[in-house]
Amino acid sequence: MASRLLFRRAVQAVTRVGAVRLAAPSRCMSAGGIPTDEEQATGLEKKVMAAIKKGTDPYSIEKPQQYAGTKEDPHIVPSITNKRIVGCICEEDNTAVIWFWLHEGEAQRCPSCGSHYKLVHHHLPH
Ligand SMILES: [Zn+2]
């Protein structure tokens, strides 16, 4: 009889301890799933994700836009200064790159192929 009472108390104690151990934290997979990238992101990554959500691309992460390279639709070259060196691969199969300085102001032409390039001032987000 005493051994049965002792056994029941032991089972109750183990069950109670087990119940405490099974209390899962709210962020684990069994309690609601894996946290999303937005929930895990911190610092600069969080700022970039918020900016992309708003539709802006302050760090030029996305693929650059395509331009025709004509006078009306010049290649836009962002720069934080008033000039930037630009490399033009004039034709698709060329192995040589034509390098030239692009200055702020009017659109300039590549000295070899004549494509138009325009420097646009870029503000750093930080
Ligand atoms: Zn060129």
pLDDT for 100:
96
End-to-end CA distance of the chain: 76
Q: Is 90 annotated as a binding residue?
A: yes
Residues 70-92, mean pLDDT to the nearest whole number: 93
Distance 98 CA to ligand 1 centre (A): 6
Distance 87 CA to ligand 1 centre (A): 8
pLDDT over 70 at 53, yes or no: yes
Taking alpha carbons only, the member of 117, 91, 90 closest to residue 104 is: 117
What the block records as the tokens of 65 is: 């836009």
Residue 77 pLDDT class (50, 70, 90 cuts): very high
To the nearest whole number, what is the mean pLDDT of the chain?
A: 83
Q: Which CATH architecture is the domain 67-125 placed in?
A: Sandwich (2.60)
Those residues whose C-beta lies under 8 Å from the C-beta of residue 44, and which sit 6 or more positions away, are none
Q: Is 28 annotated as a binding residue?
A: no
pLDDT in tens, 14-51: 566 555 555 555 556 667 788 888 889 999 899 889 98
Q: Is 110 annotated as a binding residue?
A: yes
- Report residues near ion ligand 1: CB below 5 Å: 88, 90, 110, 112-113, 115
Q: Where are the domains of the chain?
A: 37-64, 67-125
Q: Around Cβ 39, how many Cβ atoms within 10 Å?
A: 9
**Strand pairing class (98-103; 83-88):** antiparallel
